Structure 1
């Protein structure tokens, strides 16, 4: 998920886009932007990079095991088929 610092930077950048006449409202807008961004990101149910990497590694190991088992089944089927003939 995005770091709090990243959210703060985005909020400040959005607040800096506010016209100069509304400079007094910049702090409030920055806080509001920060809250809205954080809330929106929480609703997305994102995973961390670490969680993603762990699941990717688990999937790769599972895929390798499935490939091994498929090969073994094919070998056993070939042996069974040759015995039937």
Structure 2
């Protein structure tokens, strides 16, 4: 754990603001919201790979689609089967 991470924990600061941590919100099995991402690496109907500040995020499924995206967030729909932090 880095000094910045320890300080964030000690002061009870939100990690998404201080460390730029990705926020992933999954609603059921068919919807995901990703916040604080940097770029989209790969996009198919079975895999969406996203670069975040701290890792790569992989969402595996079937019929995956990016319903919308902005500079801050994106909404992914389809049947979500697996999420990996690489």
State the TM-score, normalized to the length of structure 1. 0.22
Q: Using CA pairs under 8 Å that are at least 6 residues apart, name the structure with larger relative contact order, 1 or 2.
A: 1
Q: Give the structure with the larger helix fraction.
A: 1
Larger Rg: 1
TM-score (norm 2): 0.21
